Homo-oligomer: A and B are copies of this chain.
Amino acid sequence: MAFEKMIHDAFEESRNNSRLGDTTDEINEIKEYIKNAKKIYVPNKNGIKVKVLNEVLNKYGLPEAEILQINTSTADTSRIPALAKAYMALDQSDADLIIARGRLGIPGSGSLLIFIDNKGRILTCGTSPSHPIHKKSLEQAVYEEACEALEKIGFDKRLKK
């Protein structure tokens, strides 16, 4: 429960107005949570995103994700489609980690790839501009967003951890 304690303690700091920003210990708790995830799901219709994500998870020495085949298309009418997809997957599974990708905000706002925990809290993310701007393949964009999300919390491809 070091993870829950970390969240609890930071909450108290915020409440006391004594919070000075993130700490290395907090980042390490997020990394441990991801390393120890037993059920990682990726909501998706086809398997393209899952294949790419598993390539990335593998490169960083992390456990594999599974596809959760649910129709998330209604998420695109919500305020943060990527997050709506992640919540749908959480509510339809017993995952302890969800990785979801979709639009960031309004049409034209590009994409967001988001990691959430077993309670729907955001652990990390990666983003891309709209595809008409970056002109990359879906695979390449997902690949780079996932690397960004992991490197952001200190995972290192070369160390495989």
Binds B, one of A60-68, A90-98, A106-114: A106-114
Closest to A130 in B: B22
Determine which residue in A104, A107, A132 has the highest number of CB atoms from chain B within 10 A of its CB, and name it.
A107
Residues of A that sit less than 8 Å from B by CB: 6-7, 10-11, 14-15, 17, 19, 21-24, 26-30, 73-74, 76-77, 79-80, 103-110, 117, 120-125, 127-133, 151-154
**Complex partner residue of A122 from B74, B106, B132, CB under 8 angstroms:** B106
CB < 8 Å: which of B15, B30, B77, B106 contacts A121? B106
Identify which of B21, B27, B29, B103 contacts A22 (C-beta below 8 A).
B103
With A14-B73, A22-B109 in contact, is A151–B124 under 8 Å at CB? no
Oligomer: number of copies: 2
Given A77-B15, A80-B122; A29-B108 close (CB under 8 Å): yes
B129 lies within 8 A of A152 (CB): yes
Contact (Cβ within 8 A) B110 A153: yes
Least Cβ distance of A14 to chain B in Å?
A: 4
